[in-house]
């Protein structure tokens, strides 16, 4: 029996590894006996680089972690840094942050949805998703001046105010994105082959999910109602009205449903935020741009935030100088990916791409 087991390398250069993931798969026929993910191909040691410059300088590395949801990454860092320096942030800046983070969550889920379709052999939804994401990127371009890596959130506020034109663009996007999402969802959910290939595939039980530190949509698809925006609110999430989608099945299809529903909730949040943005300053005058590199921090702080992939946060240790002593990035994809072997064991090799893409791993964040 033993000699029938063969070892196959999946990746690192394979179109459905979402970057550079290599999985050593042990196969008995077409059944996966064991899987061993190998990571590190995109490692740049962002933590060490962040420990070499002043506090705001780390932001450009933080941007490049989860490069499809840069603003969510920046948020975790600036919230931690502000706690470290006891900085006050104007209300307007917090509301602007909240709105952009929700838009970026939609953009990140759209990237996932499009590439997930590709992995399942569907080319059509990819173009639909990219069309909608393009509209979000244009909004970001109008507000921040960049399309992908923004460097927009600063310690003590945001770098520039939002313009009336940007508000109009956001309103226009939010008004009809819901119906477009309906269309995209129908392409997947009404496709017999897609549903057959994802139901009861890549199952993750709740005990395993908790033990492996899995968070975000994966944990919610495994039946735990846990969302930091609701359970431990940061920014002003306690002042807006939204639901947490939960599924009990823990398979690939459940994760698809959870992410689609999350996009709907993000629309709901953004619509409420846009009517609530108050007038006022968009940054704290004490933290004007020339002052930023002179900021000093002591003690340690870790502010958890709900990024599109799960719990994201930056653990900062300051020694009283202008340079952070230790920066540790808690990236959700890293923990989520470590649970991959138990999701693959016992399934067929054809289910591998479905399971891997349902994790939504982004390798800038896994390898840091």
Partner 1 sequence: MIPVESESTSKEGTKIVYVSKENLFAYMKERKDEGYDILLMVTGIDYKDHLEVVYHLLSTSTGNRLIVKTKTDGEVDSVVPLWAGANWHERETWDLVGIKFKGHPNLKRILLAEGWVGHPLRKDYPLDKKQYVNLKENGEDYVSYDPREGY
Beta strands 326-330 and 310-319 are antiparallel
Tell me the CB-side half-sphere exposure of residue 84, using CA atoms within 13 A. Answer: 32
| Candidate list 15, 29, 40, 121; residue touching partner 1; CB under 8 A | 40
Count interface residues toward partner 1 (CB under 8 A): 42
232 binds partner 1 (CB under 8 A): yes
Alpha-helical runs (H) found in 201-242: 206-211, 217-221, 228-231
86 binds partner 1 (CB under 8 A): yes
368 binds partner 1 (CB under 8 A): yes
The enclosing H or E element of 300 equals strand 298-302
| Candidate list 115, 185, 266, 301; residue touching partner 1; CB under 8 A | 301
67 binds partner 1 (CB under 8 A): no
212 binds partner 1 (CB under 8 A): yes
Report residue 75 as tokens.
Answer: 């948020």
Q: Is 249 or 300 the residue whose CB approaches partner 1 more closely?
A: 300
| Candidate list 226, 253, 283, 347; residue touching partner 1; CB under 8 A | 226
Q: Is 67 or 325 the residue whose CB approaches partner 1 more closely?
A: 325
235 binds partner 1 (CB under 8 A): no
Cα dist from 94 to 159, 181, 326, 349, 359, whole Å: 12, 27, 26, 46, 30
Report residue 344 as tokens.
Answer: 């693959």
338 binds partner 1 (CB under 8 A): yes
311 binds partner 1 (CB under 8 A): yes
317 binds partner 1 (CB under 8 A): yes
47 binds partner 1 (CB under 8 A): yes
Beta bridge partners of 319: 298
Least distance in angstroms from the C-beta of 102 to partner 1: 22
Q: What own/partner pairs with CB < 8 Å and gap ≥ 24 does 238-244 have?
A: 239/276, 240/268, 240/269, 240/272, 240/273, 240/276, 241/268, 241/272, 242/268, 242/269, 244/220
List the Cα angle 325/331/334 in 5-degree steps. Answer: 125
Least distance in angstroms from the C-beta of 337 to partner 1: 8
Q: How far apart are CA 69 and CA 245, in angstroms?
A: 20
| Candidate list 243, 299, 346, 350; residue touching partner 1; CB under 8 A | 299
249 binds partner 1 (CB under 8 A): no
Least distance in angstroms from the C-beta of 297 to partner 1: 9
Packed helices 124-144 and 91-119: angle between N→C axes, nearest 10 degrees: 160
Beta bridge partners of 327: 316
357 binds partner 1 (CB under 8 A): no
- Binding positions for partner 1, rule: CB under 8 A: 39-40, 43, 45, 47-48, 51, 80, 83-84, 86, 208, 210-215, 224, 226, 231-232, 299-304, 311, 313, 315, 317, 325-326, 328, 330, 334-335, 338-339, 367-368
């Amino acid at each position: 029996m033993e000699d029938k087991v063969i070892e196959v390398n999946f990746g690192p250069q394979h179109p459905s590894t979402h970057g550079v993931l290599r999985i050593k798969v042990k196969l008995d026929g077409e059944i996966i006996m064991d899987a061993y993910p190998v990571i590190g191909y995109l490692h740049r040691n962002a933590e060490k680089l962040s420990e070499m410059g002043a506090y705001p300088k780390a932001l450009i590395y933080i941007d490049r972690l989860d490069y499809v949801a840069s603003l969510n990454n920046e948020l975790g860092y600036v919230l931690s840094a502000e706690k470290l320096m006891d900085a006050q942030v104007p209300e307007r800046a917090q509301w602007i942050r909240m709105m952009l983070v929700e838009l970026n969550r939609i953009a990140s889920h759209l990237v996932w949805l499009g590439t997930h379709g590709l992995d399942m052999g569907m080319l059509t939804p990819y173009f639909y998703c990219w069309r909608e994401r393009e509209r979000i990127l244009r909004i970001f371009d109008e507000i921040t001046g960049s399309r992908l890596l923004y460097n927009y959130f600063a310690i003590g506020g945001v770098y520039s105010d939002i313009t009336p034109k940007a508000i109009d663009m956001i309103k226009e996007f939010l008004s009809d994105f819901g119906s477009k999402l309906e269309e995209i969802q129908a392409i997947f959910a009404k496709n017999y082959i897609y549903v057959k290939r994802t139901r009861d595939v890549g199952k993750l039980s709740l005990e395993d999910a908790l033990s492996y530190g899995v968070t975000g949509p994966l944990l919610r698809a495994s039946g735990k109602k846990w969302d930091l925006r609701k359970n431990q609110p940061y920014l002003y999430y306690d002042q807006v009205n939204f639901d947490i989608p939960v599924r009990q099945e823990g398979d690939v299809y459940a994760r698809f449903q959870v992410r689609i529903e999350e996009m709907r909730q993000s629309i709901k949040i953004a619509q409420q935020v846009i009517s609530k943005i108050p007038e006022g300053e968009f940054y704290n005058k004490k933290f004007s741009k020339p002052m930023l590199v002179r900021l000093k921090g002591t003690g340690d702080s870790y502010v958890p935030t709900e990024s599109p992939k799960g719990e994201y946060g930056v653990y900062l240790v300051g020694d009283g100088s202008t340079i952070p002593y230790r920066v540790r990035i808690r990236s959700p994809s890293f923990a989520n990916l470590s649970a991959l072997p138990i999701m693959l064991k016992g399934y067929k090799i054809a289910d591998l791409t479905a399971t891997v893409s349902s994790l939504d791993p982004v390798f800038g964040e896994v390898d840091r």
